[in-house]
A = this chain, B = another copy of it.
Amino acid sequence: MTRETPWQVHLSGEIHTDWRERIRAAARERNLPVRFTAPVTDHAASDDVGVRILGEEQDAFWRDRKGAGINAIRTRTQLERADLVVVRFGEEYRQWNAAFDAGQAAALGKPLVVVHPPGLGHALKEVDAAAMAVCAEPEQVAEILEYVTREEAGEAAGAR
């Protein structure tokens, strides 16, 4: 009996806390049929990738452009493949790339879940309004995943 194709879930945004690990751990505990993708979360590796591979730049603007181009190859493919996009915002940094990913997800018609401390609600109201769910803790994302992938009795029953 064939199981349903796993859900592919992209985890975008904040890279300075352990929120991705917490979602993964909670998903593992629940044995969920889910595959996660993420940006490269090693900050230095991500910032340097452009000039490391494509050659050094004097100007910081072009240095950043080279790195952002390569990171965009990864992100765009992960967004296109995702069944669900989760975006996390934290108190620190501008995190414009997180909001940019959320905008791409919305326009691509991907279901969006936003995770942020309640205090950021007003600043994130446009992003939240485009989301199917807004929560504060990573474990809530795992609960959502458990629910949306829960198999109904006999769901794959006809499959050879």
A153 CB to nearest B CB, Å: 8
Inter-chain contact B97/A35, CB cutoff 8 Å: no
Contacts A33-B160, A68-B128 given; does A122 touch B76 at CB 8 Å: no
* Bitwise interface map of A from 58 to 84 toward B, beta carbon under 8 Å scored 1, else 0: 111110111111111111110001011
Q: Which of A9, A95, A155 has the most CB of B within 10 A?
A: A155
A94 at the interface (CB under 8 A from B): yes
* Bitwise interface map of A from 34 to 50 toward B, beta carbon under 8 Å scored 1, else 0: 11111111000100011
Residues of B within 8 A of A107 (CB): 103-108
- CB within 8 A of A70: which of B74, B103, B124, B132? B132
A interface list, Cβ under 8 A from B: 2-7, 9, 20-21, 23-25, 27-28, 30-41, 45, 49-50, 53-54, 58-62, 64-77, 81, 83-84, 89, 93-109, 111, 113, 118, 121-135, 140, 143-145, 147-150, 152-160
